[in-house]
Structure 1
Amino acid sequence: MQNREKKIIFTVPESFDGVMLKSFLKNHCHVSARLLAALKNKENGLTSRGERLWAIDRVEAGQVITLALPLEKNTVEPVSLPLQILYEDVHLLLLNKPPGMPVHPTSCGHTSDTLANACSAHMRQKGESYKIRLLNRLDKDTSGLVLVAKDAFCAYALARQVEKTYLAVAQGVLCGSATIDSCIRIKPGHTIQRETAPDGRHAVTHYTALAHEQNHTLLALRLETGRTHQIRVHMASIGHPLAGDSLYGGNLTYIGRQALHCNSMAFVHPVTQQMHRFVSPVPRDMQFIAFSAYNQEKENLR
C-alpha cells in the first residue's frame, strides 16, 4: 500500500491580511497546535508559491497557502466485513453501523470484528493508509451514523462541530420536550455500568417525544456532551429506560438490544466549506417496537 501525501490549500481573506501565518492557521483554518507543530517541523509542510513558509511569516490577502499533511500509518488489522458507506471523499468517510458491531478493537474479545477493522480493509482495497479517527463512537448495540476523519486536520476542525440527532424508544409514556442535566459516573463496583451522581462528569441530554405506541415513546434526542452511555443512563434515571437495554433496566420483550439509533448528522466540510446533511433510516427492529409511531413520523426521519 502506498501512503500518498495529502495537501490542503487555503486562500488568505482580507480580514487576515498582514497577520502571522500561525495566527491565520489557528484562527481561520482551525489547525490544531499539535498539527501546526508537525507542519513546522516537516520540510515543505507549509508553502506558498512553492516556497517554504515559517510560522512567524506574515501573510497577505489573496495569498495561497498549502499544507502538506504528515504521512500517517494505519495500525488496525484489516478484516473484510460488510461496510455500508453513505459518503466518502479524500478527507471523510461516513458509515452506517449495524447493531451488534463494536466500533473499535478492544482487549476483551473484539479484535477483528469491529467497524475499524472493516474501515482498514476498505482503505487497503482503495490503496490508502490513514489513522482511523472516529468523530463519534456508538456502543456496540447502538446503530446508525459514524463519521471517520481521514486526517488530523479534519478530525480537529470537526471536533464538537457535528450536529447529531438520535432516535430512541423509551419505555413508558413521555410527552413534549425536556432536558436532563445530571452528572454521570462509573457505578461503584462496576467497570461498564454508569449512573447519575453529583460527583460525576457533567452531562446534558435534550429529548422530544415524537409519538407513542404500546406504552413506549419514540424520542428524538440531542446531546450537549458525549459521555459513555449518556442517553441510556439519563433515560433510566428518570424512570424511562430504553426498550431492550437490560443493563439499565430495559425490557427485552420486544427487542434484544437497546433501542437507540444515530439517525441524522449535519456538518460543514472543513475543506470545501459545504454543508452536508445525512439521514440513516430507522432499523427494522426499532420500527417493530413503535411501528405506528414510526409511520406517523417517518417523513421527518428519512
Structure 2
Amino acid sequence: MKPYTIQWTVSEADSGILLRDFLKRNDISKKALTDIKFKGGLILVNGEEKTVRTVLNTNDIVKVQFPSEIFSEDLVVEYIPFDIVYEDDFVLVINKPFGIPSIPSREHPKGTIANGLLYYFFQIGLQSTVHIVTRLDKDTSGLMLIAKNRFVHHLFSKNGLEHIQRKYLAFVHGQLEDSSGIIDAPIGRKDDSLIEREVRQDGQKAVTHFEVISFNEKYSFLRLQLETGRTHQIRVHLSFIGHSLVGDDLYGGSVETLKRQSLHSYAIQFYHPFHQKNYLFEIGLPSDLAEWKSIHMPE
C-alpha cells in the first residue's frame, strides 16, 4: 500500500517564503501538520525531508505524504458494483446504481457504496478511508463525487458544497402549473420519525429549482437543480407542492408502475481544487427509468 501524497511546484510569487507559510497558503492546517509529523507522514522538498522553517525557491517541488487513514472497524471491505465515470489522483466520480445506500446504517450495515469504495481503494493500494462529498439516497441513481483523502475532502468543504452543482431528472405525478420555478421551503426532521423529513418553519433553508421537460395527463418529466443539500430535499419539496416522485411511497408517490423513486443524478459540476478548473460530467437515464419513460411517457 502506497501512502497518499500531494505535491506542488513553488511559483515565482512564493519564492523566498518559509515552507510553513507555503503549506498554510495551501490549506495544510496546524492540526494536519501535527498529524503528518507524529503519525507517520512526511514533508519533502525536492525529495528531501525538510523542516517547516526551510526557505523555498522558485520551481522547488514540495511533496506532502499523509499518514495512513484509519477506517472504522464496522466498515467492511466488500465488493459493490459501480461504474467509474472519472478518476484522477484526488477525486472519483462514480455512477451509483439504485438500491444501494451511500453509507452504512443500522438498517444497512453492509452492501453500501462506502463498503465498495473501501474495496476499490484496497485494490489500487490507496491508504485512505472513504470520503463521500455528495451522497445519494438508497433508491436514487446517478453521479456521486468522492474525495480520495481527508485533505481533499476538506478543500471541498472549505470552498462550500453549494459550489458543487448537482442536477437531477425525475418523473412526478400530475402536471405542474408552471413550466419552471423555485421551491424555497425549509426542511426539518418529522417529529415522529427518525427517517422522514418535512417542510417546517423551524427547518433548515432548502432551495430547489425545477423545469418541466415534458408532460402528459398523468405524469411530468422534470429537470431539477439543488441550491442546498438537505436530506431528502427533492423528495420533500416535490411532495410539498403536490407532485410526489413516482415510486416514492415514503412521500406520497405510487409504486404501482415503479418500485423505486424515479430520481436520477444526471449531472455534476465542481471546481477542482488542484487542477483549478471546473469539471462537468453528465450521464443519461439508467435502463429502468428509460424503460419506464418509454412505456408511460412515450415521445
- Please classify the TM superposition score into its range, dividing by the shorter chain length: 0.7 to 0.9
Which residue of structure 1 aligns with residue 165 of structure 2?
163
Which residue of structure 2 aligns with residue 152 of structure 1?
150
Correspondent of 1:38 among 35, 39, 49: 35
Which residue of structure 1 aligns with residue 141 of structure 2?
143
**Structure 1 residues 43 and 256: CA distance shift in structure 2, 3 A:** closer
1:7-46 paired onto structure 2 within 5 Å: 7-16=5-14, 21=19, 24-27=22-25, 29-31=26-28, 34-39=31-36, 41=38, 45-46=42-43
**Structure 1 residues 236 and 124: CA distance shift in structure 2, 3 A:** same
TM-score (norm 2): 0.85
Correspondent of 1:277 among 268, 280, 285: 280
Q: Which moved more, 1:136-145 or 1:265-274?
A: 265-274
RMSD: 2.7
Correspondent of 1:111 among 109, 124, 133: 109
- Give 1:292 deviation, angstroms: 8.5
| Offset from partner CA, 1:193-242 (integer Å, 9 cap, x none) | 11111111111111222221343222221212211101111111111111
Which residue of structure 1 aligns with residue 78 of structure 2?
79
**Structure 1 residues 107 and 11: CA distance shift in structure 2, 3 A:** same
Correspondent of 2:190 among 187, 190, 196: 187
Query: Percent of aligned pairs with the same residue?
Result: 35
Q: Which moved more, 1:189-198 or 1:170-179?
A: 170-179
- Give 1:182 deviation, angstroms: 1.2
Q: Does the CA-based 8 Å contact 1:205-1:221 persist in structure 2?
A: yes
d(CA) in 2 for partners of 1:35, 1:294? 53
d(CA) in 1 for partners of 2:180, 2:212? 6
d(CA) in 2 for partners of 1:154, 1:141? 27
Correspondent of 1:286 among 268, 273, 289: 289
d(CA) in 2 for partners of 1:38, 1:214? 60
Q: Does the CA-based 8 Å contact 1:31-1:157 persist in structure 2?
A: no
Which residue of structure 2 aligns with residue 53 of structure 1?
51
Unaligned runs of 5+ in 1: 297-302
- Give 1:34 deviation, angstroms: 4.3
Q: Which moved more, 1:17-26 or 1:90-99?
A: 17-26
- Give 1:87 deviation, angstroms: 2.3
1:65-76 paired onto structure 2 within 5 Å: 65-75=62-72, 76=75
**Structure 1 residues 214 and 57: CA distance shift in structure 2, 3 A:** farther
d(CA) in 1 for partners of 2:182, 2:55? 47
**Structure 1 residues 5 and 189: CA distance shift in structure 2, 3 A:** same
d(CA) in 2 for partners of 1:57, 1:116? 39
Q: Does the CA-based 8 Å contact 2:40-2:68 persist in structure 1?
A: no
d(CA) in 1 for partners of 2:140, 2:59? 46
TM-score (norm 1): 0.84
**Structure 1 residues 185 and 9: CA distance shift in structure 2, 3 A:** same
d(CA) in 1 for partners of 2:137, 2:102? 7
The one-letter code of the counterpart of 1:71 is S
**Structure 1 residues 44 and 237: CA distance shift in structure 2, 3 A:** closer
SS at match of 1:235: helix
Q: Does the CA-based 8 Å contact 2:3-2:126 persist in structure 1?
A: no
d(CA) in 2 for partners of 1:244, 1:44? 48
Q: Which moved more, 1:191-200 or 1:259-268?
A: 259-268
d(CA) in 2 for partners of 1:140, 1:43? 36
**Structure 1 residues 172 and 57: CA distance shift in structure 2, 3 A:** farther
d(CA) in 1 for partners of 2:81, 2:14? 46
SS at match of 1:121: helix
**Structure 1 residues 38 and 255: CA distance shift in structure 2, 3 A:** same
- Give 1:82 deviation, angstroms: 2.2
Which residue of structure 2 aligns with residue 300 of structure 1?
none
The one-letter code of the counterpart of 2:257 is Y
d(CA) in 1 for partners of 2:148, 2:279? 17
